[in-house]
Structure 1
Amino acid sequence: MNKSDLIESIASAANISKVAAERGLNGMLASMSRAMEEGERVTLVGFGSFSIVDRAPRIGRNPKTGEAVRIPPRRAVKFRPGKELVQKIQ
């Protein structure tokens, strides 16, 4: 499912226009992004939680040459599925 499919699904489930569904989805995504930028954890009960983790620097390998490559530290988004979601997909 891509973003436009999700917008269509939201619009039909809520009986609203696609434009309104897109505005709602974009607003939600912007709010979630802003919260994570500020270091907050975003929890959607029944679905899962999104958080930011700091990745330490490490040594990786170039698969083509086998040469060791230094991978710098970075921040990454981590998703942890909620119990209900895990039960639905099993």
Structure 2
Amino acid sequence: MTSGGTLTRADLADALQRDVGLSRADSSRMVEQILEHMCEALSKGENVKISGFGSFILRDKGERIGRNPKTGVEVPIAPRRVLTFRASQMMRDRIVNPA
């Protein structure tokens, strides 16, 4: 992982190259294919669950009334689909008690 604290696609590809022994090109291609497959599933309305990691869950939010905090004027908020992530219990345990 980079020193900036953000895990990137390149970091994932480097880990695959190092740990599995794939070439740099194959590692990058595999990371891209996995991410593309996840994006396709989500765009079709399917949830994505990665056992031991967590779930990417799509949720439809209905129309509602919001309020402009500056003016106090009520405005309608259109219905929309939102993506949420819910970490698995195993992941939450690792975050709370890092090894």
TM-score by length of 2: 0.75
* Stretches of 4+ aligned residues off by more than 4 angstroms: 63-66
2:83 is paired with a residue of what secondary structure? Answer: strand
**Is there any run of 5+ residues in structure 1 with no aligned partner, and where?**
none
The farther-off stretch of 13-22 and 54-63 is 54-63
Give the AA of the match of 1:23.
R
Correspondence for 2:86: 80
Higher relative contact order structure (alpha carbons within 8 Å, sequence separation ≥ 6): 1
Correspondence for 1:9: 15
**Number of equivalenced pairs:** 90
What's the CA shift string for 1:26-77, capped at 9, x where partnerless?
1111111111222222111100111211012223344554443322111111
Give the AA of the match of 1:59.
I
Equivalent pairs: percent with the same residue?
A: 37
TM-score by length of 1: 0.81
- Pick aligned residue for 1:56 from 53, 62, 72: 62
Correspondence for 2:4: none
